[in-house]
Structures are given as C-alpha cells and as structure tokens.
Amino acid sequence: MSDAMHRILLIEDDPAICEVLTVLFETHNFRTVAVSTCRAAIGFVQQQRPDACIVDLGLPDRDGIEFIQEVRTWSPTPIIVLTARTQESQRLAAFEAGADDYLIKPFSGPELIARVRSIIRRLMRRDQAQQILRLGGAEVNLENRISIGPQGEVLKLTPLEHRILECLARQAGGIVTHEQIMKQVWGLQQSDVRALRVYVASLRRKLEPNPTQPQYIVTEVGVGYRLVADLA
C-alpha cells in the first residue's frame, strides 16, 4: 500500500505547527486531516479510522494522555505523540496510556515521516499474521489486546504489559535484551532495568502457573528475556 493511500489524523491546536505538519505529510504523499480538540479527534477515529494519529499533549479541551487512554480501550490505531513536554515521567505516562511513539518539539521532519512509516508497516505486518499467544492454558490476542486465562476468565493486562508481550513475541524463542525492550516499549535509549523487572513480574503473576519459576517469560540473566510460547 502506498503512502498516498494512508490517512494521518493531526491533533494539534497550534495553527502554525498544524500547517507545517500538513505540508510535511502531503509532500510525502500522505493524506491528512487536522483537528484541534480531543473531542473532534475521538469522533474522527471512531467514524473514519485513520492509519495513524499525531497528537499533541497540550490540547484545549482535554490532555492528550486522556485521548490516548480512551482510544486504546477500543482501537489499535497507531498513535505518535508530538509534544514540547520533555520530562521522562511524561514520556512514560504516554507509553503507559498506549502511545506507540513519542517525539519532542522541535522535531525532525524526516524522522517523523520515517517513524510513521515504520509504525504503519509494523501494523500491516501484524494484521497479516495471526496474533494469538498461547501460554499453557492462557491465550493473549495481541491485536485486540484481550487476554483469557486457563479457566476462561478475562485477564486484565495494562497497555504497557501488552506492549512488552508484543516486543517479546516479535522475537519469540530468541533473546530480547533489556535495551531492546526499553527502546521499543518506552522509546528510551537507556534502560531502567528495575522498572522493567516490575512490569515483567506483574505479567508473570497474571500469565505464569508459578510466577517464581516462569515457563513462558524466561529471564536470560544479565541480558534480557526470552518468550517461550506458541504464536498462532
């Protein structure tokens, strides 16, 4: 599918930045629609299903984090945050809410285009494959983010826990380093292994028969993790 067939929703209340983004994407043959509020953005995503959203966090009616949280309850549409907020806590909050990437203003046009293309390609590859992880009696649907336990119960995994599983599933059976996980899940260059261990421990409590002796999310000491699972 060519870029000209992809539609990008720009969620930005600064007219000057919105104009720059519109010219940038249309120069690279993307179609664009621009809105300035969360309310308008949610309505558009519900009705039109864009291929990706570029969202500023400082919107006039609601914080952009709230937009991400709401959309993630019913849509896997890729979301890239483009904001002036530089604090790591804000970046982590965006990824925890379900953002796919995070760029800081002022931004590089070529880098933004490259990241959008990369995310759309990844989503297309994911859509072309079945995305059911089987972990013993549990099943995790990576596409719609629904997890079912051995007894048919719904397991409540957070968006960030799903992102970690997706990262491991892309290299199922192979070692995924701490640095690779942190980069792909949080967009951070340097890993905070302690924080990652907390989330992995939470995943194990939800998915492993015996979290103290994991069978599926296996630790490779000093390196990272390996996912041992059937990917159907």
The larger pLDDT score, comparing residue 126 to residue 83, is at 83
pTM: 0.64
To 10 degrees, the CA torsion angle through 62, 64, 67, 71?
A: 180
Q: Which two tokens stand for residue 38?
A: 């969360």
d(CA 85, CA 217) in angstroms, rounded, equals: 34
Residue 190 has φ and ψ, to the nearest 5°, of -110, 140
Is 189 within 8 Å of 195 (Cβ atoms)?
A: no
The larger pLDDT score, comparing residue 4 to residue 213, is at 213
Percent of the chain with pLDDT strictly greater than 90: 45
Answer yes or no: is pLDDT of 130 > 60. no
Task: Output the CA torsion sign for 88, 94, 99, 103.
Answer: negative
d(CA 179, CA 181) in angstroms, rounded, equals: 5
Residue 148 has φ and ψ, to the nearest 5°, of -120, 130
Is 80 within 8 Å of 102 (Cβ atoms)?
A: yes
pLDDT value of residue 137: 83
Q: What is the DSSP secondary structure assignment for residue 3, as one 8-state letter?
A: G
63's torsion region: left (phi>0), alpha (psi -120 to 50) or beta? beta
Q: What single string gives the DSSP state of each residue in 178-211?
A: HHHHHHHHH--SS--HHHHHHHHHHHHHHH-SST
Q: Please, what are the domains in the chain?
A: 3-128 (3.40.50.2300), 132-231 (1.10.10.10)
Query: Which of 121, 144, 142, 129 shows the shortest CA–CA distance to 6?
Result: 121
Summarize pLDDT for 169-215 with one digit per residue, the tens.
877 888 888 888 887 787 655 557 888 999 999 999 999 989 999 99
Three-class DSSP category at 231: strand
pLDDT value of residue 151: 79
Answer yes or no: is pLDDT of 8 > 70. yes
Q: Which two tokens stand for residue 215?
A: 């069978």
